[in-house]
Structure 1
Amino acid sequence: MAPKAIASPIPDSLYPTLSIINLAIGLILTASFFIYEATSSRKTRSLAQELTTGAVASVFLGFGSLFLLLASGVYV
């Protein structure tokens, strides 16, 4: 029995679209994080909100970077 070829669960034609969407969401969340840090006082800041916003922005920027590399032909 011949081994089955490894295939991506996402079509290659969607990589550029996914990279743009993920990077856009990540940059918007990063901007909202910086705006929150600049406009809130030290006493009104919430550590949970900072960590959540930072983590979600990081995930979107990470996947956006991954799909950007895949769309440009760098297979990681």
Structure 2
Amino acid sequence: MASKPVTAPVPITWYPTLSVLMLSIGLLITASFFIYEATSSRKTRSLGKELTTGALASFFLGFGSLFLLLASGVYV
């Protein structure tokens, strides 16, 4: 049985677009997190909302950074 070459699950030409898109979404979610923290009082804050927003921002910023590195030729 002949082995198949390993290919990327995402086409290489999409890397720059994905990095810009995901970093933009991550930065917007991060900005909304900071606005939420600055405008809400300690009594009205929700731990669930903070954790969800932080996890989403982390996800998008992490994958956006990964695609930025891949687009610039740093293969990780």
Q: Distance in 1 between matches of 2:7 and 2:56?
A: 28
What residue in structure 2 maps to residue 56 of structure 1? Answer: 56
Give aligned-pair identity as a percent.
Answer: 75
Aligned length in residues: 76
Where does the alignment leave 5 or more consecutive residues of structure 1 unmatched? none
Q: Distance in 1 between matches of 2:28 and 2:9?
A: 27
What residue in structure 1 maps to residue 31 of structure 2? Answer: 31
Alpha carbon RMSD of aligned pairs, Å?
0.7
Q: Distance in 1 between matches of 2:9 and 2:19?
A: 16
TM-score (norm 1): 0.97
TM-score (norm 2): 0.97
